[in-house]
Chain A
Amino acid sequence: MAMTSTLTSTERQIGMALSILLVCLGLVMAGVAKQGPMMVHGGMAVALGLVLVFVLGGALYDQPEPSPERLTQYDDAPIRFGIVMTLIWAVAGMAAGVWLAALMYWPEATPPWPATSYGRLRPVHTSGVIFGFGGNALIATSLYVLQRTSRARLADALSPWFVLIGFNLFCVWAATGYVMGQTQSKEYAEPEWYADLWLVLVWVTYFALYIRTLARRAEPHIYVANWYYMAFILVVAMLHIVNNLAIPVTWGAGESFTIWSGVQDAMIQWWYGHNAVAFFLTAGFLGMLYYFLPVRAERPIWSYRLSILSFWGIVFFYMWAGSHHLHYTALPYWVQTLGMTFSVMLLVPSWASAGNAIATLNGAWHKVRDDATLRFMFVAAVFYGLSTFEGSFLAIRPVNSLSHYTDWTVGHVHSGTLGWVAMIVFGAIYSLVPKLWGREDMAWPRAVEWHFWLAVTGTLIYVVSLWNAGITQGLMWRAYDEGGALSYSFIESVEAMLPYYAARTLGGGLFLAGALLCALNCRATMCAAGDRVDVSDRPLVAQPAE
């Protein structure tokens, strides 16, 4: 097995000890809870811990010690695992999204069981794509970029496995918890207190691994992509801890009350929510962009100094923008104005990054034309520019009065997540998979082209239909007749949405088909690699023979 073959006997023993601790943790959770989602999650931890104990224990006897030469090579085995998990979550999370989109057009199709209701499946989609797909992609690519830009092997062999396996356990706890009806009722922070504590443990290990590896770097500088990745890791930790401060109802129940109340709770939630967009869905993916786009285009970033300026602009301005989610609420007016102002200011560093990426392609446009992988990255930069402009625009109070609570917001979010985040992830995946599995190219190069056009067409259909839907909704809700009464009932505005919801399902379906094609293409590439995987593990220092 890939994991055990890279670990020494001592590391396998430590891994076994950690797995036994996981089994104990699961037993305590299940024993204390006795029923409900927390007990099921305890059972999952026990099962995972036992599997790891057997895998690591078996390797202690069956597998030889890894060659000492491994220390002169990059540690890519955990990255390969992270890429596989990225693809699994992509298909699962996006399939849930398409199913939910179809239910909005055809609500009668909702199965009669609580577990399959819209309200329970919706966070399965959001957490599945944001944390499962996006999170695994960020962790995997960050470990790749960290090693290459630092010319250093990861600081230790166990931490990356703990981070990736632990993070995926969190994602599975989250998704299964929602299906069982468990939620904190905080958007994008739905998992309960014990899952949150587990994620803190995983995230601190991730941050420590990143810092320790950077400290071992063979380069005098820290390449700018690492700054973005570090901002992602550090700020997400801060956001996660503050927003999830809660008091459990009892230790044996997966239920809790947040320590925040009233408008402070709303402000903390949207400080978290918008900075999740900023630091989970932007900063880390900008790190990805600043590494993979120049490498693929074989051109240095157009302006390195501009990338530094954008970094600090994004870090400073985003922190204050969250309150634009609470326009026209009980939040003090000046706090709303503050959020609106910083949201508009954010356009400067955001467009600086988008422009920097696009300008990098000057002189390489023939590559963009011929290479679908690079085209994914180019389209990602374009959608990043478009969606950040739209975000600043929607944060302006009078615009927000039309757009808020409508599907325009959903269209805006998907312009960012499909057009920007998913596109840059797919670009990075198509760059990485052949390298990590020791091949020249993907197994089906034509399928990359097909995926690109499915993704672009799906995104455009999805986003344009929800722009129309949202503006129509907003205008219908604010229309009055001569007597001052509302011109339309709410249900009339729902009925008006049906064609847009059908188009949205089609757009999402096309995007999902592309993701599925990507997963199959990657699987074919991995299978074709066979035993060459370990050969591809590249040395830290250039080898003339290669």
Chain B
Amino acid sequence: MSHETLVLIARILGPLWMGGFMLVVLIRAYNPRRRAEQERIARSILPGNDGEAGE
């Protein structure tokens, strides 16, 4: 396989892999069904919650 072919494959597959992965992350992170859980996690570290309440 020539160098040019390898570069061509990298140029096609690379962006697809990167873009695809970021799309999966985007869909999972912004899934509305996860919103309540994310809100709970974000608040879990605050004073008054169990994680810090002992302080």
Judge whether A300 is part of the interface by a CB distance below 8 angstroms.
yes
| A334-B7, A538-B55 known; A148-B29 Cβ under 8 A | no
> What are the interface flags for A278-309 relative to B under an 8 Å C-beta threshold, 1 for contact and 0 otherwise?
00000000000001001100111100111011
Q: Could you say which of A312, A334, A539, A542 contacts B25, with CB atoms under 8 Å apart? A: A312
Q: Could you say which of A221, A308, A312, A435 contacts B44, with CB atoms under 8 Å apart? A: A221
How far is the CB of A495 from the nearest CB of chain B, in Å? 46
Q: Kindly identify, within residues 14 to 55 of chain B, every residue whose CB is under 8 Å from any CB belonging to chain A.
A: 18, 21-22, 25-26, 28-30, 34-35, 37-39, 41-47, 50-55
Q: Could you say which of B21, B35, B51, B53 contacts A312, with CB atoms under 8 Å apart? A: B21
Q: Could you say which of A223, A312, A313, A538 contacts B45, with CB atoms under 8 Å apart? A: A223
Judge whether A67 is part of the interface by a CB distance below 8 angstroms.
no
| A300-B46, A542-B54, A546-B54 known; A223-B41 Cβ under 8 A | yes
Judge whether A316 is part of the interface by a CB distance below 8 angstroms.
yes
A149 touches B45 (CB 8 A): yes
Please count the residue pairs between chain A and chain B whose beta carbons lie under 8 angstroms apart in the complex: 73
Q: Which B residues are in CB contact (< 8 Å) with A327?
A: none
B24 (CB) vs chain A CBs: closest residue? A312
| A149-B44, A298-B46, A304-B38 known; A538-B25 Cβ under 8 A | no
Q: Could you say which of B29, B37, B39, B45 contacts A309, with CB atoms under 8 Å apart? A: B29
Judge whether A219 is part of the interface by a CB distance below 8 angstroms.
yes
Bound-state Cα–Cα, A127 to B41, Å:
36
| A539-B54, A546-B54 known; A295-B45 Cβ under 8 A | yes
Prevailing SS type, chain B contact patch: helix
A149 touches B55 (CB 8 A): no
A149 touches B51 (CB 8 A): yes
Judge whether A540 is part of the interface by a CB distance below 8 angstroms.
yes
Size bracket of the B interface:
20 to 34
A147 (CB) vs chain B CBs: closest residue? B51
Q: Which A residues are in CB contact (< 8 Å) with B7?
A: 334
Q: Which B residues are in CB contact (< 8 Å) with A312?
A: 21-22, 25
Q: Which A residues are in CB contact (< 8 Å) with B52?
A: 148, 295
Q: Which B residues are in CB contact (< 8 Å) with A435?
A: 55
Q: Which A residues are in CB contact (< 8 Å) with B39?
A: 300, 304
Size bracket of the A interface:
20 to 34
Bound-state Cα–Cα, A312 to B21, Å:
9
Q: Which B residues are in CB contact (< 8 Å) with A316?
A: 18, 21-22
Q: Could you say which of B22, B38, B45, B55 contacts A294, with CB atoms under 8 Å apart? A: B45
Q: Could you say which of B34, B42, B54 contacts A541, with CB atoms under 8 Å apart? A: B54
Judge whether A489 is part of the interface by a CB distance below 8 angstroms.
no
User: Which residues of A are at the interface with B, using a C-beta cutoff of 8 A?
Assistant: 148-149, 151, 219, 221, 223-225, 291, 294-295, 298-301, 304-306, 308-309, 312-313, 316, 334, 435, 538-543, 546
User: Which residues of B are at the interface with A, using a C-beta cutoff of 8 A?
Assistant: 7, 18, 21-22, 25-26, 28-30, 34-35, 37-39, 41-47, 50-55
